[in-house]
Structure 1
Amino acid sequence: MTTGVLFVHATAWLAFAAYVGGSLIGLRTPASLRFRCVWLTGALLLLVHLLAAFHFIHGWSHAAAYADTARQTREVTGLDWGGGVYFNYALAALWLADAGIQLAAPGRLPRQARVALAGFYAFMWFNAAVVFVHNPVRWVGAAAFASLAWRKWHPTSGGPVHR
């Protein structure tokens, strides 16, 4: 594995860690500065990941990214479709916009928007960290999601869960 490809993988996992950490913090204190900083860091790391993937893996070619996404989707699902790349673009755009909104107007996003975004983020990250991972690292992703689910539905004492 080249240094560039290692950087692509590292930025993906760091962005995922920020998603998990931000989600856990956001369950307790969605308007806190700590949450907003972790959330923005994660969104920026995802952007760096996408740019690094385009540079080191896809040669700045959307067609190459689409083809690689189609290959990965075919390997996992049997469906030869690269449209998932557009969902990756949407994840980055929405997360960056969400982080910007959280910085400008903490906690003011309507509940329906928060729920929709949380569902989309969870779907995307679950697929990225569990479904499309082909090695034992997928268990790290599964454990992270189990932790998120536990904290969401079994909050510890110390205040209400907001998300």
Structure 2
Amino acid sequence: MRISRTLPVAAVVAAAGVLSLAAVPAQAAEYSSALKVKGVQYDAPGRDSNKCSGGNTAAEYLTIKNYSKTAKVNLKGYVVKDAAGNRFTFTKSHTLEPGDYIKLRGGRGTDSDTKNVVYRQNCNFIWNNDKDTIYFYKPSGARADVHSYTKKANDRDGNGYINYHG
């Protein structure tokens, strides 16, 4: 008589499910949010200079888009963070119509809904030129979107821009 030492089918399926979940990178998760990160200019063109006058931090930006076909979304209270914990909170009302976008730029400037721009009012760079993680949170604290990048793996043409969500 041969004794079978196999796991019950349910245990095998459960273990396989756990293994497949562990292998999924954070940026592959889809969050329930109309607003998502469309792209990031993580490496501003030219030589990096975070001087408020004559620097190029305004050329570093994050594009956030409203992917909803019907809902208007106000950015007030949304938060953008990087892996090191640098953060920006949208403190003013900026309503994005369906399909509309806004560029969150470094440096100082005048926010404009008509020009689709918000300035961080900070002349320091937020995104690292070699690798970083972009976290985007709803006002409730729930994650709206997240993307990790490395220059080598994600910026094949080397222009300092990475496109997400089309």
Range into which the TM-score falls when normalised by the shorter chain: under 0.3
Q: What TM-score does the superposition give when structure 1 sets the normalisation length?
A: 0.28
Higher strand share: 2
Of structures 1 and 2, the larger Rg is shown by: 2
